[in-house]
Structure 1
Amino acid sequence: MTTRSTVRRRGTAATAVACALLVVAGCSGTTKDSEEDNTKPEKKTEATANPDAPIKEGLKVAFLPKQINNPYETIVDKAGMAAAKEYGGDAKEVGPSDASASSQVSYINTLIQQKQDAILIAANDPNAVCGPLQQAMDQGIAVVAYDSDTAKDCRQVFINQASSEEIGRSLVRNLGKQLNYKGKFAILSATQNATNQNTWIDFMKKELEDPKYKGMELVKVAYGDDDDQKSFQQTQGLLQAYPDLKGIISPTTVGIAAAARYVSDSSYKGKVVINGLGTPNQMRKYVKDGTVEQFSLWDPNDLGYLSSYTAAALASGQITGAEGETYKAGKLGEFTVGKDGEVILGPPTIFDKSNIDKYDF
């Protein structure tokens, strides 16, 4: 039989147990204010930059290029890894052998598991890499895009070789002068989803809206997927499909070298203008044999160097990626973070017979 006093004793014991379990709360009961606090989402503390903070020792930095065997990106990444040695970091290059949209995802996941301090990526696709990169940032890993950007929410800083608008418009301006603003031309790009290529092509098309280009016609944008043989075949296909083609712009180092190689051994040499973005060492023989009059590019060594120091600045808390922040990038000096986290290396250089032997990259 249960007496009233027994019930009271049981109730007191239950209360004591509850208090023991809730000792952190002081067993003080739930007020309206604490009830509201429990339902409010936790606010994330905004990171603040400390420009005077030293670069952390032993930073683990990983470069993830579009593809591991791309000659241009090899130059960029080697320069970035050399820069890491300057600031006491440990850098490496990893990546796929193809430039497909999703080929970089598994590498990002592995780098997260390895607890890298910073991931630097030249994105094959602006969105395919977003999920894992956001996971990386959530875990405190600095994410820098270089050469080819990701979607803006998927990295903190983008290192742009030069103003995207200037690159795109200047390529059309250069070709226009060579063609005397007359004739059909094509664009030989990398992959269909490459952020940098598509941005430059958009600005090329805007430049073509100027009335001075009314005598020029863009007949096709072809894609060589940053593959030498495919780019070579695409060049052949363009010239067969448009026998009256007067010029080809290839804003990719793989593409312009492949196009120049095809034209140099064909009847089109001296008749079709090849222009675009290339490295001096790839293009030297085509400039000297008259296949290519000029092309342009920035120094990929500087791009890798700046990207590496930017990742170190992020991982060390010197910057957060907010507009207006400044930081030092070793021998290159001071840089400022612009709108949407963009940092611009500088204007491209035009290479021709007069200066190409001054460069070795």
Structure 2
Amino acid sequence: MRLHSRARIVPAAAAVCALAVVLAGCSGTTKNDTAEATTPGASDAKADPSAPIKKGLKIAFLPKQINNPYFTILDGSGIAAAKELGASAKEVGSSDAKASSQVSYINTLVQQRQDAILIAANDPNAVCGALKTARQQKIKIVTYDSDTGKDCRDLFLNQTSSEQIGRSQIQNIAEQLGNKGEIAVLSATSNATNQNTWIEFMKDELKKPAYKDMKLVKVAYGDDDDQKSFQETQGLLKAYPNLKGIISPTTVGIAAAARYIGGSSYKGKVVLNGLGTPNQMRKFVKDGTVEQFSLWDPKKLGRLGAYAAASLASGRITGAEGEKFTAGDLGEYTIGKDGEVILGPPTVFDRGNIDDFDF
């Protein structure tokens, strides 16, 4: 049951999974030169919670792709927070969402001797070799939005529980559809860790008796490209004439899908839900194309990344389960299993509260 307030919170689900914010800092006090650790924080170093945040740290944000509104907001907030901590920070990356492009940037950042790299991985495995090389150079690695293998980074900053995201996507659209009808998913890339994790939880949620009259007919991939996502939406609606709803758990995908539906005969007939930013989706909510969608606050995720990276690079934390660190005005966070830190539950946005947010 959802909470009815001006900033409704998505219902909590039981478990915590992975999503990712990458942010990292480097310090000789936390990793030896070989960096052979296979689990986050697994080294001979000990955390010193009272250690001061080092000044002059060099921190780089490597998103899935630049010029993506979601990552522009997130990384911009992280860069601002890093500067508040006396660090220099920047965003680098390619306009495509390819793992090979990220590998090239990681290698360059290693050459530049960054103290920390924050990465939203486009592939959970393809970037690991380059990240392990970075760790051997005592560069701290923090994943955000989309994780890598656990032995490839120090921390994973998860927007919220992956189970919570996946199950709530089905719960939200099912409520709108009266638990009946065919649905499809418009995802990002086919190998995006976070998207695939959420989709598995969506599929598992659909196995419950409450959804016996609902059917997932297709998972399509827009590759986080606006035009391809637009075309995939068109293709779904033509291929499945009985389609009643689309879930797009990607900010690029949901905006492109809303643009197509809003300008077609499907407006008001096909329900669109998923993950988007208020500024991106406001017009579609107000013109009736979309009733609701959800997301965490990317500004907060960026700030959390900056503080996590600086804390790692300064030796305040090593990434071990149970360690705690303070992220400024966001408060105190505890590192969970496998080096995961969870920002908090997402918010459901609709006509009643969307003007309360500006991001």
Residue in 2 aligned with 1:136? 134
Residue in 1 aligned with 2:347? 349
User: Of residues 249, 252, 264 in structure 1, which corresponds to 2:250?
Assistant: 252
Residue in 1 aligned with 2:114? 116
Residue in 2 aligned with 1:235? 233
More relative contact order, 1 or 2 (CA 8 Å, 6+ apart): 2
| Partner amino acid, structure 1, of 2:166 | G
The CA deviation at 1:43 is 9.8
Residue in 2 aligned with 1:324? 322
1:103 aligns with 2:101: yes
The CA deviation at 1:42 is 12
CA distance in 1 between partners of 2:143 and 2:178 (Å):
37
- The ranges of structure 1 where at least 4 consecutive aligned residues each deviate by more than 4 angstroms after the TM superposition are 41-45
The CA deviation at 1:48 is 1.1
- Quick check: which one's helix share is greater? 1
| Partner amino acid, structure 2, of 1:323 | E
User: Of residues 259, 273, 293 in structure 2, which corresponds to 1:261?
Assistant: 259
Q: Deviations over 1:90-127 (max 9, x none)?
A: 00000011002321001000000000000000000010
Residue in 2 aligned with 1:304? 302
1:303·1:345 contact (CA, 8 Å) conserved in 2?
A: yes
Residue in 1 aligned with 2:212? 214
The CA deviation at 1:139 is 1.0
Give the secondary structure class of the aligned counterpart of 2:100. coil
User: Of residues 292, 295, 302 in structure 1, which corresponds to 2:293?
Assistant: 295
The CA deviation at 1:69 is 1.3
Residue in 2 aligned with 1:61? 59
With over 3 angstroms needed to count, the CA separation of the structure-2 counterparts of 1:118 and 1:283, relative to structure 1, is: same
CA distance in 2 between partners of 1:42 and 1:118 (Å):
15
2:35·2:138 contact (CA, 8 Å) conserved in 1?
A: no
CA distance in 2 between partners of 1:122 and 1:201 (Å):
18
2:35·2:136 contact (CA, 8 Å) conserved in 1?
A: no
Structure 2 residue runs of 5 or longer lacking an equivalent are 1-33, 38-42
Give the secondary structure class of the aligned counterpart of 1:68. coil
2:163·2:198 contact (CA, 8 Å) conserved in 1?
A: yes
TM-score (norm 2): 0.88
In the alignment of these two chains, the number of paired residues is 321
CA distance in 1 between partners of 2:78 and 2:334 (Å):
19
2:182·2:217 contact (CA, 8 Å) conserved in 1?
A: yes
The CA deviation at 1:317 is 0.5
1:80·1:305 contact (CA, 8 Å) conserved in 2?
A: yes
User: Of residues 122, 125, 128 in structure 1, which corresponds to 2:123?
Assistant: 125
Identity %: 74
The CA deviation at 1:223 is 0.2
Give the secondary structure class of the aligned counterpart of 1:324. coil
| Partner amino acid, structure 2, of 1:269 | K
| Partner amino acid, structure 2, of 1:337 | I
User: Of residues 175, 178, 181 in structure 2, which corresponds to 1:177?
Assistant: 175
The CA deviation at 1:87 is 0.5
TM-score (norm 1): 0.88
CA distance in 1 between partners of 2:55 and 2:321 (Å):
26
| Partner amino acid, structure 2, of 1:190 | A
Residue in 1 aligned with 2:279? 281
| Partner amino acid, structure 1, of 2:88 | D
